Amino acid sequence: MSEPEDIKDAVSRLLDEAQLLGDIEAAMPLYERALALDPERPETHYNLGLVYKYRGAWIESLHHNRLASDLAPDDEASHWNMGIAATALRDWPAAREAWRRAGVQITEGDGPIEDDFGLTPVRLNPEDRGEVVWARRVDPVRAIIANIPHGSSGFREGDVALHDGAAVGHREVGDRTYSVFNVLELFEASVQSTYEAEVRARDATDLDALVQALDAAKVEHEVWTTNMRVLCKQCSEGLPHEHHDEEKSADWPDSHVLGISATSPDTARLVLERWSAGGGLLGRLRRANAERLLRFECVLPGPSVH
């Protein structure tokens, strides 16, 4: 057998062994050995680019994904990972080239892509109990968070998030199914801060009066008590089952927690105090940083995306 065939077989064995490990970090030495044997193997560059992507090492990720894309022009995954790395680096010519290779339609130009790719759910902190919120996609892998995430998530309403290109789960709203994308990192921070208000309302009419008052004052808010649910990992990364809805109590809660997004809490505090003077009870208004539950889930888009 010729030496090139020997090398080809050796690289294939290394790549197969790496896949069997099921851990891309542990597989890194095998990929590096495969690269040393054959620097023209697109699968090796793809896998190295993948490791560097999840490390957030964007220069190295772009380098290897560009090579994988060049060497395998029909490999859509390499084009997408090239686009993700280029976007993270704000290398807009490279990002635009990657999307053209992937067949994604974008507006012509030289700078950042500011298109309308519609609403999508994204999972914040996917490696740490993950909170799913809704966002408005402005390009294939950037989305502006439209819900109000919990303060402990490290994200805020209006943040621009860089998300992955492969769906991890789906959500159904009406007759539409939306893909859920894992967030890779914060791309651009919002000027908003997140505040948490705990209130006691006698009934739904009382709570609705507060919601209307916040709407009238143009205070971005969500009633977390009613528009969030806790999901098991299987459902969060798949399609939520009906049993999660069945677990909700029919009793009126003793208290309600509202998430408020604002640059300052002053207007929200004034609305809450006026509402409280009318009979409702304001427990506290504070910057939101409370410990989260297992998995928070915004069931529907909040007021900012209606």
Chain position carrying tokens 């590096």: 32
Please provide residue 139's backbone torsions phi and psi, each rounded to the nearest 5 degrees. Answer: -155, 180
Residues of the chain with CATH 1.25.40.10: 3-102
Q: Span 76-89, mean pLDDT? A: 98
Contact criterion met (CB below 8 Å) for 104 and 140: yes
Q: What angle do CA 281, 132, 204 make, to 5 degrees?
A: 30
Residues of the chain with CATH 3.30.70.260: 193-305
pLDDT band at 289 (very low <50, low <70, confident <90, very high): very low
| Res 136: pLDDT | 97
Domain over 193-305 is classified CATH 3.30.470.10? no
* pTM summary value: 0.85
| Res 290: pLDDT | 34
For 195-216, what is each residue's pLDDT tens digit?
A: 998 888 888 888 999 999 999 9
Contact criterion met (CB below 8 Å) for 77 and 50: no
Neighbours of 226 (CB within 10 A): 15
Class of domain 3-102: mainly alpha
pLDDT band at 288 (very low <50, low <70, confident <90, very high): low
Torsion from C-alpha of 276, 281, 287, 290, nearest 10 degrees: -160
Which of 176, 193, 172 is closest to 266 using CA atoms?
193
The rounded distance, in Å, linking the Cα atoms of 120 and 133 is 8
